[in-house]
Every structure is written in structure tokens, then in C-alpha cells.
Amino acid sequence: MPKTKSTSTGEQTAAPVDTKAARVTMLVPAHARENYAAMVAHHAAAAGVTVDEARAEQVRVWREQHTADAAQGFDVLADWLEDADLDDPALYSQRVDPEVEARVRAVQAAKADFNAPVDGLTEAEQAEVAAYRAAVKDRHTEQLPGAVDESESAE
């Protein structure tokens, strides 16, 4: 049963969930987070910059990689690193609310299987899935020699 909250009119609405944190916790394993945190610290030391500057640069790189290839999940890494407290040991053992985990799994499943229904997903989740599917379709269409854009061939 989804958590609800009451509005000023007494109407019950679904409480917002932090799917960003859930995606990160589920999709970026603890050992990977530890390795990336160490990588940022080493880069900062080697480049003679602060950890925050090294972090910002890595987030920028991952966002650019996500723009180039949305299917690889660089956005999840960037989301994690952008908000990570790299000095907090508890960061590596975060637990996720089972309801949030189920929602994130449903979105990831819809992204993985283009035939999966999006019923039951919120509008924002459906938009996320649609954007992902469009990006993957565009990428694959660009890679096919002699591919014809279906929207142009309908004329």
C-alpha cells in the first residue's frame, strides 16, 4: 500500500518518494561507490584540486557520457556522486524502503523490456521510461546503415 499524505482539502495523495536515492542504492553497489569515492579523492590529490572540484568534474563527465549514451546509466552515477557525502561511512550501507525499491524495479524493468507495460507507474516515471526508450531507439536507428526515420517515411 503506497504511503499517503493529506492535502489542505483533506484529499489523500501519494507521498513523494526519493527514487533518486533508491536508484543509486540499488544500481550502484557499495563496492562501486567506495571505488568511485577513492577515485575522486585520488584525482583531487593528483591534480592538486579540492575533492569538491574533482567531484564536480567527474559529475560533468558522467552527465556528458549519459547524453551520448543514455542506456549506460551514467546519470545514476552522476546523481550519486553529486549528492554523496564522501566522508560519511554510513553512505555505503543505506537501506531502501521496500515500496520505493519496488517502484524503482518497475521503472528499470520497463526500461529493460520495451514491451513491458507502464501501467501503474506515475506520470513522471512513465515520462522517464518514454525518454529512455526514445533515446535508445534513436541511438539504434543512427547505427543502422540505410535506416529510414519512420516519421519521414509516413509522408
CB atoms < 10 A from the CB of 142, how many? 8
Residue 65: the pLDDT is 93
Distance between alpha carbon 90 and the CA centroid of its chain, in Å?
21
Domain ranges of the chain: 17-144
Helices (H), the chain: 19-27, 30-47, 51-68, 74-83, 98-112, 123-143, 150-153
Q: Which residues contact 99 (CB under 8 A, 6 or more apart)?
A: 2, 3, 17
Q: Kindly report, residue by residue over 57-112, the tens digit of the pLDDT.
A: 999 999 999 988 888 889 889 988 998 887 766 554 555 566 777 788 888 888 88
d(CA 107, CA 125): 7
d(CA 147, CA 144): 5
50 vs 140 pLDDT, higher one? 50
Q: What is the pTM of this model?
A: 0.51
56 exposure class (CB count in 10 Å sphere: 0-12, 13-18, 19+): middle
State percent of the chain over pLDDT 70: 71
94 vs 139 pLDDT, higher one? 139
Region 122-138: mean pLDDT is: 87
d(CA 103, CA 107): 6
Half-sphere exposure of 132 (CA within 13 A, CB side): 20
The contacts found for 58-66 with CB under 8 angstroms, 24 or more apart, are: none
> Which grid cell sits at 63?
552527465
| Range with the largest mean pLDDT of 24-33, 123-132, 146-155 | 123-132
Closest by alpha carbon to 108, among 97, 121, 94, 96?
121
Band of the pLDDT at 118, cuts 50, 70, 90? confident
142 vs 55 pLDDT, higher one? 55
